[in-house]
Amino acid sequence: MAEVLVLVDHTEGAVRKTTTELLTIARRLGEPSAVFVGTGFDGAKETLAQYGAEKIYRVESTDVTDYLVAPIAEVLAMIVGSAAPAAVLLSSSPGHKEIAARLAIKIESGLITDAVDVQAGDSGGLSTTQSVFAGGFAVRATVTKGTPIVTVKPNSATPEAVAGAAVEQAVEVSISESAKGARITDSQVKAASGRPELTEAAIVVSGGRGTGGDFSKVEEFADSLGAAVGASRAAVDAGWYPHGNQIGQTGKQVSPQLYVAAGISGAIQHRAGMQTSKTIIAINKDAEAPIFELVDFGVVGDLFTVLPQATKAVHTAKG
Protein backbone atom coordinates (compact mmCIF):
# COMPACT_ATOMS: atom_id res chain seq x y z
CA MET A 1 0.00 0.00 0.00
CA ALA A 2 1.29 3.47 -0.82
CA GLU A 3 2.41 5.83 1.91
CA VAL A 4 0.38 8.91 2.80
CA LEU A 5 2.52 11.73 4.18
CA VAL A 6 1.28 13.74 7.15
CA LEU A 7 3.21 16.87 8.13
CA VAL A 8 3.28 16.89 11.94
CA ASP A 9 2.04 20.05 13.66
CA HIS A 10 3.72 20.30 17.05
CA THR A 11 5.45 22.50 19.58
CA GLU A 12 8.70 21.01 20.88
CA GLY A 13 7.31 17.55 20.33
CA ALA A 14 3.84 18.18 21.76
CA VAL A 15 1.72 16.93 18.84
CA ARG A 16 -1.45 18.85 18.10
CA LYS A 17 -4.78 17.12 17.81
CA THR A 18 -5.09 18.11 14.15
CA THR A 19 -2.16 15.80 13.41
CA THR A 20 -3.83 12.79 15.01
CA GLU A 21 -6.91 13.62 12.92
CA LEU A 22 -4.74 13.67 9.79
CA LEU A 23 -3.19 10.30 10.66
CA THR A 24 -6.70 8.88 10.98
CA ILE A 25 -7.65 10.29 7.58
CA ALA A 26 -4.37 9.06 6.06
CA ARG A 27 -5.24 5.49 7.05
CA ARG A 28 -8.30 5.64 4.77
CA LEU A 29 -6.01 6.39 1.84
CA GLY A 30 -2.93 4.26 2.48
CA GLU A 31 -0.18 3.80 5.06
CA PRO A 32 0.30 6.83 7.28
CA SER A 33 3.83 8.25 7.35
CA ALA A 34 4.47 11.19 9.63
CA VAL A 35 6.97 13.88 8.68
CA PHE A 36 8.44 15.37 11.84
CA VAL A 37 10.41 18.59 11.53
CA GLY A 38 12.09 20.31 14.47
CA THR A 39 13.08 19.44 18.01
CA GLY A 40 11.32 17.23 20.56
CA PHE A 41 11.14 14.07 18.50
CA ASP A 42 11.12 11.70 21.47
CA GLY A 43 8.05 13.38 22.91
CA ALA A 44 6.21 13.18 19.61
CA LYS A 45 7.11 9.64 18.67
CA GLU A 46 4.77 7.96 21.14
CA THR A 47 1.72 9.94 20.05
CA LEU A 48 2.47 9.40 16.38
CA ALA A 49 2.84 5.64 16.93
CA GLN A 50 -0.32 5.52 18.98
CA TYR A 51 -2.34 7.09 16.17
CA GLY A 52 -1.05 4.82 13.47
CA ALA A 53 2.12 6.25 11.94
CA GLU A 54 3.85 3.32 10.25
CA LYS A 55 6.90 5.40 9.47
CA ILE A 56 8.25 8.68 10.80
CA TYR A 57 10.56 10.84 8.73
CA ARG A 58 12.70 12.82 11.13
CA VAL A 59 14.20 16.15 10.13
CA GLU A 60 16.09 18.14 12.73
CA SER A 61 18.30 20.54 10.80
CA THR A 62 18.28 24.17 11.92
CA ASP A 63 18.50 24.98 8.21
CA VAL A 64 14.82 24.11 8.22
CA THR A 65 13.61 25.52 11.51
CA ASP A 66 15.38 28.90 11.38
CA TYR A 67 13.64 30.01 8.20
CA LEU A 68 10.08 30.63 7.14
CA VAL A 69 8.08 28.09 5.08
CA ALA A 70 10.35 27.54 2.05
CA PRO A 71 12.76 24.93 3.55
CA ILE A 72 9.94 22.69 4.82
CA ALA A 73 8.39 22.75 1.36
CA GLU A 74 11.76 21.70 -0.04
CA VAL A 75 12.04 18.83 2.47
CA LEU A 76 8.54 17.59 1.64
CA ALA A 77 9.25 17.75 -2.08
CA MET A 78 12.35 15.64 -1.47
CA ILE A 79 10.44 13.01 0.51
CA VAL A 80 7.64 12.95 -2.08
CA GLY A 81 10.31 12.30 -4.69
CA SER A 82 11.68 9.24 -2.91
CA ALA A 83 8.54 7.83 -1.25
CA ALA A 84 6.07 8.43 -4.12
CA PRO A 85 3.18 8.78 -1.65
CA ALA A 86 -0.51 8.54 -2.56
CA ALA A 87 -1.14 11.96 -1.00
CA VAL A 88 0.29 14.64 1.28
CA LEU A 89 -1.89 15.89 4.15
CA LEU A 90 -1.31 19.07 6.12
CA SER A 91 -3.38 21.03 8.60
CA SER A 92 -5.24 24.15 7.49
CA SER A 93 -3.22 26.57 9.62
CA PRO A 94 -1.87 29.61 7.72
CA GLY A 95 1.70 28.30 7.91
CA HIS A 96 0.86 24.83 6.67
CA LYS A 97 -1.26 26.25 3.84
CA GLU A 98 1.75 28.23 2.66
CA ILE A 99 3.95 25.13 2.80
CA ALA A 100 1.32 23.25 0.78
CA ALA A 101 1.18 26.10 -1.74
CA ARG A 102 4.91 26.01 -2.42
CA LEU A 103 4.94 22.22 -2.52
CA ALA A 104 2.18 22.25 -5.15
CA ILE A 105 4.27 24.41 -7.46
CA LYS A 106 7.45 22.41 -6.81
CA ILE A 107 5.99 18.99 -7.53
CA GLU A 108 3.40 20.25 -10.04
CA SER A 109 0.52 18.76 -8.13
CA GLY A 110 -3.03 19.82 -7.40
CA LEU A 111 -3.76 21.43 -4.02
CA ILE A 112 -7.06 21.46 -2.17
CA THR A 113 -7.28 23.67 0.93
CA ASP A 114 -9.63 23.69 3.91
CA ALA A 115 -11.15 20.27 3.36
CA VAL A 116 -13.64 19.15 6.02
CA ASP A 117 -13.57 15.55 4.82
CA VAL A 118 -11.27 13.36 2.74
CA GLN A 119 -12.18 9.90 1.48
CA ALA A 120 -10.68 7.44 -0.98
CA GLY A 121 -11.99 8.18 -4.46
CA ASP A 122 -14.22 5.78 -6.39
CA SER A 123 -11.62 5.28 -9.11
CA GLY A 124 -8.46 5.56 -7.03
CA GLY A 125 -7.15 8.89 -5.79
CA LEU A 126 -9.12 10.81 -3.23
CA SER A 127 -12.23 12.90 -2.91
CA THR A 128 -12.47 15.91 -0.62
CA THR A 129 -15.38 17.87 0.79
CA GLN A 130 -15.14 21.60 1.36
CA SER A 131 -17.71 23.88 2.90
CA VAL A 132 -17.97 27.11 0.86
CA PHE A 133 -19.99 30.30 0.55
CA ALA A 134 -20.76 30.79 4.20
CA GLY A 135 -21.24 27.06 4.67
CA GLY A 136 -24.13 27.18 2.23
CA PHE A 137 -22.60 24.70 -0.19
CA ALA A 138 -20.73 21.43 0.19
CA VAL A 139 -18.29 20.93 -2.67
CA ARG A 140 -16.74 17.62 -3.60
CA ALA A 141 -13.45 17.95 -5.41
CA THR A 142 -10.56 15.83 -6.50
CA VAL A 143 -6.98 16.31 -7.65
CA THR A 144 -6.35 15.57 -11.30
CA LYS A 145 -2.62 16.17 -11.51
CA GLY A 146 0.37 14.83 -9.61
CA THR A 147 0.37 13.79 -5.96
CA PRO A 148 -2.74 15.16 -4.23
CA ILE A 149 -1.93 17.77 -1.56
CA VAL A 150 -4.75 18.50 0.88
CA THR A 151 -4.95 20.83 3.86
CA VAL A 152 -7.62 19.70 6.31
CA LYS A 153 -9.51 21.83 8.83
CA PRO A 154 -9.38 20.97 12.53
CA ASN A 155 -12.22 18.76 13.86
CA SER A 156 -12.71 17.07 10.48
CA ALA A 157 -12.19 13.56 11.85
CA THR A 158 -12.27 11.79 15.20
CA PRO A 159 -8.74 10.59 15.98
CA GLU A 160 -8.65 6.80 16.21
CA ALA A 161 -5.93 5.12 18.23
CA VAL A 162 -4.45 2.38 16.04
CA ALA A 163 -0.93 1.25 16.88
CA GLY A 164 1.56 1.97 14.10
CA ALA A 165 5.09 0.61 13.70
CA ALA A 166 6.55 4.15 13.79
CA VAL A 167 9.72 3.08 12.01
CA GLU A 168 12.09 5.99 12.30
CA GLN A 169 13.84 7.29 9.23
CA ALA A 170 16.31 10.13 9.63
CA VAL A 171 16.32 12.47 6.65
CA GLU A 172 19.54 14.22 5.70
CA VAL A 173 18.67 17.54 4.17
CA SER A 174 20.60 20.05 2.18
CA ILE A 175 18.49 23.13 1.89
CA SER A 176 19.11 25.42 -1.06
CA GLU A 177 20.39 28.93 -0.39
CA SER A 178 17.33 30.45 -2.08
CA ALA A 179 15.02 28.71 0.40
CA LYS A 180 16.91 30.38 3.24
CA GLY A 181 15.91 33.89 2.24
CA ALA A 182 13.54 34.65 5.11
CA ARG A 183 15.21 34.18 8.48
CA ILE A 184 13.34 34.04 11.78
CA THR A 185 15.46 36.35 13.93
CA ASP A 186 13.30 36.52 17.02
CA SER A 187 10.46 34.54 18.50
CA GLN A 188 8.49 35.69 21.53
CA VAL A 189 6.53 32.73 22.82
CA LYS A 190 3.06 33.68 23.99
CA ALA A 191 1.81 32.83 27.44
CA ALA A 192 -0.60 29.90 27.47
CA SER A 193 -4.14 30.71 28.62
CA GLY A 194 -4.69 27.32 30.23
CA ARG A 195 -7.85 26.94 28.14
CA PRO A 196 -8.29 24.61 25.17
CA GLU A 197 -6.80 25.66 21.85
CA LEU A 198 -9.40 27.63 19.87
CA THR A 199 -9.47 25.69 16.62
CA GLU A 200 -9.50 22.33 18.40
CA ALA A 201 -11.97 23.15 21.17
CA ALA A 202 -15.33 21.38 21.33
CA ILE A 203 -16.92 24.53 22.76
CA VAL A 204 -16.03 28.16 22.04
CA VAL A 205 -17.50 31.13 23.91
CA SER A 206 -16.83 34.52 22.30
CA GLY A 207 -17.32 38.10 23.40
CA GLY A 208 -17.68 41.21 21.27
CA ARG A 209 -18.12 44.95 21.56
CA GLY A 210 -21.08 44.26 23.85
CA THR A 211 -18.68 43.27 26.64
CA GLY A 212 -17.58 46.88 26.82
CA GLY A 213 -14.09 45.53 27.48
CA ASP A 214 -15.02 43.37 30.47
CA PHE A 215 -14.48 39.74 29.40
CA SER A 216 -14.78 38.32 32.93
CA LYS A 217 -18.37 37.07 32.48
CA VAL A 218 -17.48 35.54 29.13
CA GLU A 219 -14.45 33.79 30.63
CA GLU A 220 -16.32 32.52 33.70
CA PHE A 221 -19.04 31.05 31.49
CA ALA A 222 -16.43 29.51 29.18
CA ASP A 223 -14.64 27.94 32.13
CA SER A 224 -17.87 26.43 33.45
CA LEU A 225 -18.11 24.54 30.14
CA GLY A 226 -14.38 23.87 29.69
CA ALA A 227 -14.51 26.04 26.59
CA ALA A 228 -12.03 28.16 24.66
CA VAL A 229 -12.55 31.93 24.55
CA GLY A 230 -12.86 33.87 21.31
CA ALA A 231 -13.45 37.51 20.41
CA SER A 232 -14.84 39.62 17.59
CA ARG A 233 -12.55 41.93 15.69
CA ALA A 234 -14.21 44.92 17.32
CA ALA A 235 -13.13 43.57 20.72
CA VAL A 236 -9.63 42.80 19.43
CA ASP A 237 -9.19 46.17 17.73
CA ALA A 238 -10.23 47.88 20.96
CA GLY A 239 -7.37 46.06 22.69
CA TRP A 240 -9.69 44.05 24.97
CA TYR A 241 -8.55 40.62 23.85
CA PRO A 242 -5.49 39.25 22.00
CA HIS A 243 -5.56 39.03 18.23
CA GLY A 244 -4.79 35.32 18.46
CA ASN A 245 -8.31 34.85 19.82
CA GLN A 246 -10.09 36.67 17.00
CA ILE A 247 -12.76 34.61 15.26
CA GLY A 248 -13.63 35.39 11.66
CA GLN A 249 -12.43 35.95 8.16
CA THR A 250 -9.12 37.44 9.25
CA GLY A 251 -8.89 35.53 12.50
CA LYS A 252 -9.44 31.89 13.35
CA GLN A 253 -12.01 29.76 11.61
CA VAL A 254 -13.60 27.45 14.14
CA SER A 255 -16.08 24.65 13.78
CA PRO A 256 -16.84 23.44 17.31
CA GLN A 257 -19.77 21.40 18.59
CA LEU A 258 -21.03 24.55 20.29
CA TYR A 259 -20.37 28.23 19.63
CA VAL A 260 -21.65 30.94 21.96
CA ALA A 261 -21.59 34.57 20.79
CA ALA A 262 -22.10 37.14 23.54
CA GLY A 263 -22.44 40.81 22.63
CA ILE A 264 -21.57 40.11 18.99
CA SER A 265 -23.78 41.45 16.19
CA GLY A 266 -22.91 38.78 13.62
CA ALA A 267 -21.23 40.72 10.79
CA ILE A 268 -20.47 38.66 7.70
CA GLN A 269 -16.74 38.65 8.45
CA HIS A 270 -17.41 37.24 11.91
CA ARG A 271 -19.76 34.61 10.55
CA ALA A 272 -17.05 33.47 8.15
CA GLY A 273 -15.18 32.15 11.16
CA MET A 274 -17.95 30.35 13.03
CA GLN A 275 -20.99 29.56 10.94
CA THR A 276 -20.07 25.93 10.37
CA SER A 277 -20.32 25.31 14.13
CA LYS A 278 -22.76 22.49 14.92
CA THR A 279 -24.83 24.34 17.51
CA ILE A 280 -24.90 28.13 17.83
CA ILE A 281 -26.11 30.23 20.75
CA ALA A 282 -26.24 34.02 21.00
CA ILE A 283 -26.84 36.48 23.78
CA ASN A 284 -27.54 40.00 22.55
CA LYS A 285 -29.50 43.00 23.81
CA ASP A 286 -30.76 43.73 20.31
CA ALA A 287 -33.47 41.33 19.09
CA GLU A 288 -32.72 42.47 15.53
CA ALA A 289 -29.02 41.52 15.62
CA PRO A 290 -28.17 39.42 12.54
CA ILE A 291 -26.46 36.77 14.69
CA PHE A 292 -29.94 35.56 15.68
CA GLU A 293 -30.49 34.34 12.10
CA LEU A 294 -27.92 31.63 12.75
CA VAL A 295 -28.78 30.45 16.21
CA ASP A 296 -30.24 27.26 17.57
CA PHE A 297 -30.92 29.06 20.81
CA GLY A 298 -30.85 32.79 21.50
CA VAL A 299 -31.40 35.03 24.48
CA VAL A 300 -32.39 38.63 23.93
CA GLY A 301 -30.89 40.22 26.99
CA ASP A 302 -27.91 41.77 28.74
CA LEU A 303 -24.91 39.46 28.78
CA PHE A 304 -23.92 40.82 32.20
CA THR A 305 -27.03 39.29 33.75
CA VAL A 306 -27.64 36.32 31.45
CA LEU A 307 -24.12 34.85 31.50
CA PRO A 308 -23.57 34.86 35.29
CA GLN A 309 -26.97 33.25 35.81
CA ALA A 310 -26.18 30.59 33.20
CA THR A 311 -22.72 30.00 34.71
CA LYS A 312 -24.24 29.41 38.11
CA ALA A 313 -26.87 27.07 36.71
CA VAL A 314 -24.24 25.07 34.82
CA HIS A 315 -22.16 24.69 37.99
CA THR A 316 -25.27 23.54 39.87
CA ALA A 317 -26.18 21.08 37.12
CA LYS A 318 -22.67 19.64 37.19
CA GLY A 319 -22.91 19.37 40.96
Partner 1 sequence: MNIVICIKYVPDAQADLTFSESDNTTDRLGVEGLLSELDEYAIEAGLKLVEGAVGPDGAASTVTVLTVGPDRAADAIKKALQMGANAGVHVNDEAIHGSDAVATSLILAQAIKKIGIPDLVLTGMASTDGAMGVVPAMLAERLGLPQVTLASEVTVEGETVTIRRDGDLASETITASLPALVSVTDQINEPRYPSFKGIMAAKKKPVETWSLADLGVDAALVGLGAAWTTVESFAKRPPRVKGQIVTDEGEGGTRLAEFLTAQKFA
Binding site for ligand FAD (CB under 6 A): 208-210, 232-235, 246-251, 263-265, 267, 269-270, 273, 283-286, 289, 302-304
At 23 the three-state DSSP class reads helix
How far is Cα 154 from Cα 141, in angstroms, rounded to an integer?
Answer: 19
289 binding partner (options ligand FAD, partner 1, none; Cβ < 5 to 8 Å by kind) = ligand FAD
Q: Helices 94-106 and 70-83, interaxial angle, to 10°?
A: 50
Residue whose CB is less far from ligand FAD, 146 or 301: 301
Residues 6+ apart with CB under 8 A from 123: none
| Nearest alpha-carbon partner for 235 in 262, 207, 254 | 207
265 binding partner (options ligand FAD, partner 1, none; Cβ < 5 to 8 Å by kind) = ligand FAD
Residue whose CB is less far from partner 1, 73 or 264: 73
Query: Do the Cβ atoms of 158 and 24 come closer than 8 Å?
Result: yes
How far is Cα 227 from Cα 248, in angstroms, rounded to an integer?
Answer: 18
The helix or strand, by DSSP H or E, that contains position 100, with its residue range, turns out to be helix 94-106
How far is Cα 99 from Cα 182, in angstroms, rounded to an integer?
Answer: 14
Q: How far is the CB of 137 from partner 1 (least distance, A)?
A: 5
Q: How far is the CB of 9 from ligand FAD (least distance, A)?
A: 22
Q: How far is the CB of 297 from partner 1 (least distance, A)?
A: 5
Residue whose CB is less far from partner 1, 110 or 169: 110
209 binding partner (options ligand FAD, partner 1, none; Cβ < 5 to 8 Å by kind) = ligand FAD
Question: On the CB side of 223, how many CA atoms lie within 13 Å of its CA?
Answer: 10
Q: How far is the CB of 6 from partner 1 (least distance, A)?
A: 19
**Partners of 131 in the beta sheet?**
138
186 binding partner (options ligand FAD, partner 1, none; Cβ < 5 to 8 Å by kind) = partner 1
Residue whose CB is less far from partner 1, 20 or 284: 284
Q: How far is the CB of 54 from partner 1 (least distance, A)?
A: 27
Residue whose CB is less far from ligand FAD, 102 or 233: 233
203 binding partner (options partner 1, ligand FAD, none; Cβ < 5 to 8 Å by kind) = partner 1
Residue whose CB is less far from partner 1, 136 or 172: 136
Instruction: Supply angle C-alpha 266, 269, 273, rounded to 5.
Output: 85
What's the full length of the chain, in residues?
A: 319
